[in-house]
A and B are shown apart, each in its own frame.
Chain A
Amino acid sequence: GAVVSQHPSRVICKSGTSVKIECRSLDFQATTMFWYRQFPKQSLMLMATSNEGSKATYEQGVEKDKFLINHASLTLSTLTVTSAHPEDSSFYICSAPTHGQGEVYGYTFGSGTRLTVV
C-alpha cells in the first residue's frame, strides 16, 4: 500500500535554530500534502496544505514565515520551522491523499516528528 516516510522521528533543537521535516511518498506521487500539528492529548490541527509546484495554503492563524513549506517534487514535501521557540514544541504529522482502485480516495499519514525546542 501507499507509504509516506517522515523524518526525523524525533528532534531536539536549541531555541532560535531552524528544523526541517521531510515527508516522502515512497510508491506513489503525492501532488498534495497536508501538514498537521498535534499538542499532547489533543487532536490534529491542520496547519497548511502544500501542492507540488505551487505555494502552500496556510490555515488561519498559522505564520507563513515561521512554518515554511516546500513541495518541489511529486514525492517530497518539507516543513521548516524557522527560529524555533519552546512553544513550537509539538508533534508534526504529514498526510497525503491516495487513490485506491475503485475507491474515491484515502489518506496516508507519516509516522510523525516529535519536535522539542530547548
Chain B
Amino acid sequence: GNSVTQMEGPVTLSEEAFLTINCTYTATGYPSLFWYVQYPGEGLQLLLKATKADDKGSNKGFEATYRKETTSFHLEKGSVQVSDSAVYFCALSAGGTSYGKLTFGQGTILTVHP
C-alpha cells in the first residue's frame, strides 16, 4: 500500500534560517503529492502540491519538487519566520481524475525562535 515517511521532529530553528523537511513516499503508479500545514488547534491548510514528476510546488516562500527517481518531495524554505511555527504534513493521493484518500506522513513540528 501507499506510505509516506517524514523526517523525525521536532525541528527548532532561529528566524531567517534555512529549512528542509524531508519526505519520501512509497506508492504505485503516479501519485499526487502535497504539503499541508496545521497551526495549533486548527485544521489543515494546503501549503503546496505537485501532480507529476519534476513539478515544483511553491507558496509563501516554501517549495518542494516531485522527484520520482528518489521518490521524494522535500519541503524547503530559504528564510523561516516565527509565524512559520506549525506542524507540517507530507501526503500523497492516487493520481489521475479519481479523488482517493490522502495518506499522511507522521508530521513534523517546526518551532522558529526570534
Contact = CB atoms under 8 A, between A and B. Distances in A.
Interface of A: 6, 32, 34, 41-44, 46, 49, 93, 95, 97, 103-112, 114
A42 B41 CA distance: 13
Contacts of B109: 41
B49 A106 contact: yes
Contact of B107 (A43, A97, A106, A110): A43
Would you call the interface of chain B mostly helix, strand, loop, or mixed? loop
Nearest to B89: A43
B101 A34 contact: yes
A105 B99 CA distance: 7
B96 interface: yes
A112 B42 contact: yes
B104 interface: yes
Contacts, number: 53
Interface residues of B, number: 24
B42 A111 contact: yes
Contacts of B44: 44, 93, 95, 109
A49 B107 contact: no
B97 interface: yes
Nearest to B105: A43
A83 B112 CA distance: 41
Given A6-B43, A93-B43, A104-B32, A42 B107 contact: yes
A44 B44 CA distance: 10
A114 B43 CA distance: 10
